[in-house]
Amino acid sequence: MKARKILITVAILASLLAYRYYSQRTMEFLIEEDQMCLQREWYESSQINSTADYGNSYQISFSDVQSTFKWIHIPKISGSPEILLIVLSRPDDFSRRNVIRHTWMSQENEIKYLFLIGLGANMDGKIKEVVMAEAKLFGDIVVTSMEDRYSKLSFKTLTLLLFGVSKVPSAQLIGKIDGDVLFFPNLFLSTIKNENSMINVTSASVYGKIAEAGVPIVSNCCKRFLKYNFRRNSLISFGCTRYAFYLAGPFYLVTRSAALRLLEASKHRNFHKIEDTLITGVLADDTDVSRVQLHRINLGQEKGTDLVFAWHSPLNDPEYKDLYYKTMSSQQFKEKLRLQEINVT
């Protein structure tokens, strides 16, 4: 018992040190040339409206492009959920949505779970028909008129945040999660409810897995996602050579205060296809939103573990479902959850 208390104390101290390190501003970790570039990329214009919800429609605004979309289907939100977790799902990914519904979304707790899908004008008519029928049947899909493809992910993620702050006024913590993330709500809730949890829903913070500043923008992994920027006559939509601190995209949490700041700031930056670096990196840096490292998440697609509450998994549907049930029934996972619940109480 004494050894366990020592380990818990060490873990708490490590978390506090990590928070102090990662919550510092990006500017301290980039050379002067990169700092100046980040500052120059800020664009100010009274002619550009902020990202905003208009009721039946909404606008996502960047400095170089502004687009208006319709809310095609909004599910009924019962109660006053404080935690909203939205899965970004492809329109045609019917099978994975059903797998998620029958695994971790089936757990009854205080989290409100939803999917977000875009049905743009060019979407196949049959897929549109099936998605709308699915949305009405299950009542868990937000459908908008935006074009749903990877290159539009920054639009989709800002739509997620806008939905959270405008359509769910009780939501204090808004989570973005990809469809290939294996999630364990019971361990997640017991972790964030722990008295030693680093999550403060009243702060302006984003929580997840930190990627350090200084990563080159034009890298082998990202070249195919860059676009031609006409205003800057450049081959990249973000004109600097290195990224700010950001959170890995598959899973992160945004407090309500942070979401409002990020949405307001989007009109001051160019559209960029790599959403996590733009939203949790550049925009967070612009608005003094703290980026905080969370433990017990595994977003590297390496072999899964039953000691994390979120794992970015390269699994097909049967493997995903099988690992979920095996993990839930394992003694190691049950013991971890039991110890976490003891700490909560």
Q: Could you give the CA distance from residue 108 to residue 213 in angstroms, rounded to a whole number?
A: 38
pLDDT of residue 9: 45
Q: What is the pLDDT of residues 300-309, one digit of tens each?
A: 766 655 578 9
Q: What is the pLDDT of residues 216-272, one digit of tens each?
A: 655 434 443 333 333 333 334 456 766 667 899 999 999 999 999 999 999 999 998
Q: How far is CA 105 from CA 27, 110, 149, 186, 254, in A?
A: 39, 11, 24, 11, 20
Q: What tokens does 51 get?
A: 């990202």
More confident residue, 289 or 33: 289
Rounded to two decimals, the pTM is 0.83
Radius of gyration of the chain (CA): 20
Q: How far is CA 131 from CA 119, 232, 283, in A?
A: 9, 39, 32
Residue 74 pLDDT > 50, yes or no? yes
Its sign, for the CA torsion 5, 195, 290, 271, is positive
Give the pLDDT band (50/70/90) at residue 344: very low
Fold category of 24-344 in CATH: Spore Coat Polysaccharide Biosynthesis Protein SpsA; Chain A (3.90.550)
Instruction: Give the mean model confidence (pLDDT) for residues 165-191.
Output: 95
Question: Phi first, then psi: what are they for 311, rounded to 5°?
Answer: -130, 120
Contact 240, 217 (CB under 8 A): yes
